Structure 1
Amino acid sequence: MHKKNLQRIKKATRTRIKLRELGVPSLSVHKSGKHLYAQIFSGDGTSTIAAASTKDKGLIADGVSCTNIDAAKAVGTAIAEKAKKAGVESVGFDRSGYIYHGKVKALADAAREAGLKF
């Protein structure tokens, strides 16, 4: 594993420990080379309340990139709608050690605009 990825995982671990101490549901983001994923976990971290990704059918049109900012906005909106259906209005944001910039920021802003508070 690369040093850069190890540092990211270290940051993510600190954030996740703090969110579990607070006992609030958390919105977790993960980026891969081809897709973007978002999940909302329960306050104790044992169960997934809602999930959305660029792999979801109908979320991203065929032939459109799944790794750009527009795709991140679509995932942010989808996760906020699913969370509201599940009864979750407020979450802690777990950016998984990624810098709050670009796709991560676009996803967070879209989720806020769709009514999720964090």
Structure 2
Amino acid sequence: MKLSKRVLLKLKNKNKKLKPQKFKRLKRESLRGRVKGNQDRPRLSVYRSNENIYAQIIDDTTATTLLSCSTLDRDITLKAKTGRTCEASRLMGEKLAGLSLKQNITKIVFDRGPYLYHGRIKAVAEGARAGGLQF
């Protein structure tokens, strides 16, 4: 059952039954309308699971992933015990910044997705800034 944005907002405002996945999709779509990447400033998209965190740098004009990184990468798993810590997320952000600087990507647009800007999401952003990316 596909609901429109307007119906989802009405359900949310009336505090009726709104399944978490549909609410998450609504938050992601509302943010995605404002955050777009282009060839000059690609989009850094972050996905967080319970165990790990993943990030991609995406060019939205051609709909291609330029590069990606996660806490499952060998360099990060050797330094951090698990992928669910802020330290592992910061290391991943620094590694992603290093990879992007090799491809001459210095300016990006940060897309936090449906997640709040705190904790592991914030650690990825701070690690990327420490690595040399500008947003």
SS at match of 1:58: helix
Q: Deviation digits for residues 28-63 of structure 1, max 9, x if unmatched?
A: 000112111010001426111111101111222277
Give the deviation of 1:7 after TM superposition. Answer: 2.4
Please tell me the root mean square deviation across aligned C-alpha atoms, in Å. Answer: 2.0
- Specify the alignment match of 2:100 in structure 1: 83
Distance 1:28-1:63 versus aligned 2 partners, 3 A rule = closer
**Ranges in structure 1 where 5+ consecutive residues have no aligned partner:** none
Shift >6 Å, 4+ stretches:
none
Of 19, 30, 40, 1:3 maps to 19
User: Do the aligned residues in 1 keep the contact of 2:80 with 2:88 (CA within 8 Å)?
Assistant: no
- TM-score, scaled relative to structure 2: 0.76
Instruction: Calculate the TM-score normalised by the size of structure 1.
Output: 0.86
Which structure ranks higher in relative contact order (CA pairs < 8 Å, sequence separation ≥ 6)? 1
Q: Which has the larger radius of gyration?
A: 2
Identity, % of aligned positions: 30
